Structure 1
Amino acid sequence: MGTILGACNGSGSTTSEGSSSGGPGGTTEVVPTSGVTEAATTAEPTSAGSSTSSGSATSEPATTTGGMAVTRRVFITAATFHGDLKTQGAGSDGVDGADRLCAAAAAGAGLDGSWVAWVSSSSVDALSRLAADGRWVLLDGSTEVFPARGAIQFGPEHAIDMAETGATLPGGETIWTNTDSFGKNSTDGQNNACDDWSGQTGLAAVGVLFDPDFGGAGLSWTDTKQPQACGGVHHLYCFEG
């Protein structure tokens, strides 16, 4: 894959009060989320990325606890796909096809749980598809990526660079999203999200794992501001639901 450098602003990271990481064995933990607000602010979002990590995947699923943040997992697919996610995933539409591709990747690696792809279309925003009570970690069970859903707008605390297999992918890998830093459908560059992920014509926004100019994943983890042709191939981000 060719490296794409994203256009992102700001630095820094956010944490939520009382957040904790899952143990090395992948045991699910719950933490309070009183320190995180979910609504997007009018201030310019900031973010921080960090270097790659290593570790083995865990098949431990998330659990739910009322009023507490539930530790869930997130990975990047080892495989890449062209923009017609509907056909490749045999879905009812493009977003459903993307979800099925994530589910198939997880199942192939022995991961339990339900999974949704971090993609947006003209009728659905990626953020709205994530669990409101979630915090997300890599498959090692301990590397925190987002302390809460409301913190996603500030960018990841660590690049989502671990695939379902447990392997760490290189920083220049790119990911289909058509999703801006607030988790909304991207319209920059007159994107059509590959005909809502059902064709190989048009453009869609992509993210990049690691932006060398920024020194981390930055906000370009989800949108490099450089839409790519739908005939090209890119990875998917898969969030545990």
Structure 2
Amino acid sequence: MCCILTTSSYLKRMGRSLNHVLSNRAFIAMMSMFSGLFVQCSKPFPEGGAVSLLSLATAVDHYIFATAATYDGDLRTAGGGATGIEGADNLCALAKDNEQPALPGTGSEYRALLVDSGNRVACTSINCAGGISENVNWVLRANTSYKRPDGTVVFTTNASGIFLMTAGLNAPLAAAGQWWTGMDDEWNEVLSSCSDWSATVGNGFVGVGGVTDVTAITDGGVSLADCSVARSLLCVR
């Protein structure tokens, strides 16, 4: 006998009762269409002699968008976080729910593409020469494509969870605007980050919209931006 472990919400979507699911082995083949479903079988076939747990999950689409709302460099206060990074993540969660409700996932799945001195780190060497182990609380997954809300793939990460900025983007992250990033063109945190995104004095590094080159993440012309001026955030799932 094969035991199906799933949630009632998925069963309701399929419009089947539990008894019907258990009696319908063909349903097992359909399980791969849904994420978060688990199949556990104990001797389901004559040759089966072990208990196995198989997780069947579909791929998750990953998105990036620039917030319409803008914030000065004190992201900790604006987002009500214990740190500037936590505040920025809270703001991205709100922006997803309020500005991009059609995107998949919940607000809490979206976090800020932003670094500081230690709470969030992309790389500690040039383009993560030491590999993905340099990531700390990083928001980009390795070997993953990221789309704009319109479905356009803008970049694909490598095994270190970054892309080479010198290679450029497939398309602009957004048509226009400026957003806080805190990074140089090799994914390293720079000292000017509005006191770890907790102050409106000083400067912070930013990227800009409408471009596909390195300035999308770190614009040499405006990177040392005044922390008192409001700018967007880049939010990623």
Q: TM-score, normalised by structure 1?
A: 0.59
- Structure 1 residue 217 and structure 2 residue 226: aligned? no
Quote the sequence identity (%).
31
Could you say which residue in structure 2 is the equivalent of 1:140? 150
Give the residue type in structure 1 aligned to 2:163: A
Provide the C-alpha distance between the structure 1 equivalents of 2:164 and 2:110, rounded to a whole number of angstroms: 17
SS, match of residue 65 in structure 2? strand
The 1:76/1:125 distance shift into structure 2, 3 A limit, reads same
Provide the C-alpha distance between the structure 2 equivalents of 1:156 and 1:64, rounded to a whole number of angstroms: 29
Contact 1:146/1:152 (CA < 8 Å) preserved in 2?
no
Could you say which residue in structure 1 is the equivalent of 2:6? none
Contact 1:194/1:204 (CA < 8 Å) preserved in 2?
yes
5+ long unaligned stretches in structure 1? 1-62, 162-169, 211-215
- Structure 1 residue 151 and structure 2 residue 163: aligned? yes
SS, match of residue 75 in structure 1? strand
Provide the C-alpha distance between the structure 1 equivalents of 2:162 and 2:117, rounded to a whole number of angstroms: 22
Contact 2:143/2:156 (CA < 8 Å) preserved in 1?
no
Could you say which residue in structure 2 is the equivalent of 1:179? 183
The 1:118/1:150 distance shift into structure 2, 3 A limit, reads closer
SS, match of residue 72 in structure 1? coil
Residue 182 of structure 1 and its aligned partner are, at CA, apart by 2.7
Contact 2:73/2:228 (CA < 8 Å) preserved in 1?
yes
The 1:80/1:147 distance shift into structure 2, 3 A limit, reads same
Contact 1:86/1:197 (CA < 8 Å) preserved in 2?
yes
Could you say which residue in structure 1 is the equivalent of 2:234? 237
Could you say which residue in structure 2 is the equivalent of 1:165? none
Instruction: For 1:55-94, list aligned pairs within 5 A.
Output: 71-94=61-84
Contact 1:71/1:134 (CA < 8 Å) preserved in 2?
no
Contact 1:126/1:184 (CA < 8 Å) preserved in 2?
yes
Give the residue type in structure 2 aligned to 1:156: L
Provide the C-alpha distance between the structure 1 equivalents of 2:122 and 2:168, rounded to a whole number of angstroms: 14
Provide the C-alpha distance between the structure 2 equivalents of 1:224 and 1:101, rounded to a whole number of angstroms: 23
Task: Give the structure with the larger helix fraction.
Answer: 2
SS, match of residue 236 in structure 2? strand
How well do the aligned residues superpose, as a CA RMSD in angstroms? 2.5
Provide the C-alpha distance between the structure 2 equivalents of 1:64 and 1:181, rounded to a whole number of angstroms: 35
Which structure is larger by alpha-carbon Rg, 1 or 2? 2
SS, match of residue 136 in structure 1? strand
- Structure 1 residue 120 and structure 2 residue 120: aligned? no
Could you say which residue in structure 2 is the equivalent of 1:15? none
- Paired residues in the alignment total 158
Provide the C-alpha distance between the structure 1 equivalents of 2:219 and 2:78, rounded to a whole number of angstroms: 24
Contact 2:117/2:196 (CA < 8 Å) preserved in 1?
yes
Task: Give the structure with the larger strand fraction.
Answer: 2
Q: TM-score, normalised by structure 2?
A: 0.60
The 1:146/1:202 distance shift into structure 2, 3 A limit, reads same
Residue 133 of structure 1 and its aligned partner are, at CA, apart by 4.2
Provide the C-alpha distance between the structure 2 equivalents of 1:94 and 1:76, rounded to a whole number of angstroms: 18
